[in-house]
Amino acid sequence: MVAFAGHGRQFLWPVVLPAEATIAEAIEAARRQAQGAEVPWDSAPVGVFGEPRTRADRPADGDRIELYRPLQEDPRTRRRAKSGRRPKAGR
């Protein structure tokens, strides 16, 4: 399965590939099914169940391959701003 969570919408594409297929090949199979979905196919970082991977890695049967979109803002910066704290010097 290949997954991508866009703004307000989640996409899931089931793919069936040979055991020696790479993550890149799984993404290409999902891309053929996507029919116009706006997904950063070539530039997005990838992972399996939240663990970063390379496109050359081989997923195991049943793995969920994830395409990640860039963060708009660092969550740590947002938490600091919300709490009114500033980062400590030297960090």
Per-residue pLDDT, 41: 95
CB 47 within 8 A of CB 63: no
Domain over 2-83 is classified CATH 3.30.70: no
56 contacts: CB under 8 Å, gap ≥ 6: 22, 23, 24
Per-residue pLDDT, 91: 56
CA nearest neighbour of 64 among 75, 48, 80: 48
**pLDDT tens figures, 35-50:** 888 899 999 999 999 9
* Cβ atoms < 10 Å from Cβ of 60: 7
